[in-house]
Chains A and B, each alone.
Chain A
């Protein structure tokens, strides 16, 4: 059974420029939650972004990886950490999925 660290490594190895944070949220080794930021996601729909991540694991999804809950973003989207910045200290920040900031992305 994969570990959160292994899932993180595989995502980052497979998706260009990806930074992933992965959590085993039941502790049982088969329900994971991942936040992935990558420039490869820019311009893609959520479905396409998630398919990129699921594609890393192929048939393992639904098998050894019973659940992989995803949040994906391109680096310049609101709420996403700067992909080139230092890793976030103290784990993931709250993903403000609902908030639309008025600042225009430049």
Chain B
């Protein structure tokens, strides 16, 4: 499947997944999601006040292609936690409703405190540009 040539896009994606504890590959940005599934996934993360990095896959179709090659998952959005694929919107929704999502993210459940601790660092900015620079 992987050719012998270097694949900078795939490398950048793999690196981003490894570098960020929680990273969401989505259509659009958290402020301006471009699809309902991505919007719902963002909303769940935000309601848990979970910090997360966001990558907009729309600017370059190769991002989605390489991401799917890495994850074996065909659809967007894709949520990775701790370097592992958690799932798309359907799975994240089930986990959110059952409390598993909060657990997986290492957070208090949404039924508990609104915010487990004051988060000095704000959520990762949208329009995560580092990957795009590497693609340029």
Contacts and interface: CB of A to CB of B under 8 A. Distances in A.
Please report whether the interface of chain A is mostly helix, strand, loop or mixed according to DSSP.
Answer: mixed
Nearest to A68: B75
B89 A69 contact: yes
A47 B74 contact: no
A51 B72 contact: yes
Nearest to B84: A47
A47 B78 CA distance: 11
A67 B98 contact: no
Contacts, number: 40
Contact of A100 (B37, B76, B88, B98): B98
B74 A97 contact: no
B68 to A, nearest CB: 8
A98 B89 CA distance: 15
Contacts of B98: 97-98, 100
Given A47-B91, A67-B37, A69-B89, A98 B75 contact: no
Interface in A79-96: none
Contacts of A67: 37, 75
B37, B88, B90 pick with most chain A CB within 10 angstroms: B90
A69 B76 CA distance: 11
A71 B87 CA distance: 12
B26 to A, nearest CB: 14
Contacts of A47: 73, 85-87, 91
A77 to B, nearest CB: 12
A47 B85 CA distance: 8
B63 to A, nearest CB: 13
Contact of A50 (B37, B76, B87, B95): B87
Nearest to A95: B94
Contacts of A50: 87-88, 90-91
A78 to B, nearest CB: 11
A72 to B, nearest CB: 9
A70 B74 contact: no
Interface of A: 46-47, 50-51, 54, 61-62, 67-71, 97-98, 100
Given A47-B85, A50-B87, 4 more contacts: A50-B90, A54-B73, A71-B94, A98-B98
Interface of B: 37, 64, 72-76, 85-91, 93-95, 97-98
